[in-house]
Amino acid sequence: MEADLSIASLIMGASLLVKFVMLVLLLASIASWTIIFMKRRLLGQARKDAKSFEDRFWSVDDLATLYDSVSKQHKEPEGMAKIFEAGFKEFARLKKRGGIEPNSILEGCQRAMRIALTRELDSLEHRLPFLATVGSVSPYIGLFGTVWGIMNSFQALGNVSQATLAMVAPGISEALIATAMGLFAAIPAVIGYNRYSTDIDRLYGQYDMFLEEFSSILHRQAHS
């Protein structure tokens, strides 16, 4: 009788441990793809928001008007707008107190902007390490399932007097599916992690450059 070597039948006929390995890899893959699509949308919006705010910033004559517009909008400002809000808010607060050295005012503004920048990066990097974990661990989880399945196949040969390839083919095939699923989970996770890490680094460069440019403007205003 010819063995059914379809993928579905091999998965259903796999041992309990191999099925568990496949389930873990399937869930990891689903979670990875969910994060990949979420990060794609989030980072794409962050790039658009950064460009839009930078255009607004360099087109206004009065930074106080821009600050009022940013702070009074319905949703919480994000990205470059958040850095601007933190810096200008601290600048206005320290200026209002009076009797503070211009350099001290600038240092306070830079600290506030650095804190805002760090929080924005934390938000952008949220769940990104999960992709790195899936990318590095999934092949080994799949390999564990493969080794276990092949081991069971060869153990079964000890109970027969004459071994044939047809007897071990289903067990080896189901074991190799675990390896394939491990790679299926790992490859997109690695690509997504590398791609989005690069995108976040570029955004960080934009934010940091804006912070320095805004600091120069605040420096002039503090000494005026």
Reading the block at residue 171, the tokens are: 């067990």
Q: What amino acid occupies position 54?
A: E
Reading the block at residue 120, the tokens are: 């924005």
Average pLDDT score over residue span 68-76? 88
Q: What amino acid occupies position 175?
A: A
What confidence tens digit (pLDDT) does each residue in 126-138 have? Answer: 999 999 999 999 9
What confidence tens digit (pLDDT) does each residue in 135-173 have? Answer: 999 999 999 988 888 887 777 666 666 656 666 666 777
Local structure of residue 76 (DSSP, 8 states): P
Q: How confident is the model at residue 78 (pLDDT cuts 50, 70, 90)?
A: very high
Reading the block at residue 49, the tokens are: 């928001």
Q: 3-state class of 60 per DSSP?
A: coil
What confidence tens digit (pLDDT) does each residue in 11-41 have? Answer: 776 778 888 898 999 999 999 999 999 999 9
> Average model confidence (pLDDT) for the chain?
89
Question: Do residues 18 and 178 make contact, with C-beta atoms less than 8 angstroms apart?
Answer: yes
Local structure of residue 119 (DSSP, 8 states): H
A 10 A CB-CB count for 16 gives: 7
- Say what the pLDDT of residue 2 is: 45
- Say what the pLDDT of residue 207 is: 97
Parse the chain into domains and list their residue ranges.
7-222
Q: How confident is the model at residue 5 (pLDDT cuts 50, 70, 90)?
A: low
A 10 A CB-CB count for 179 gives: 19
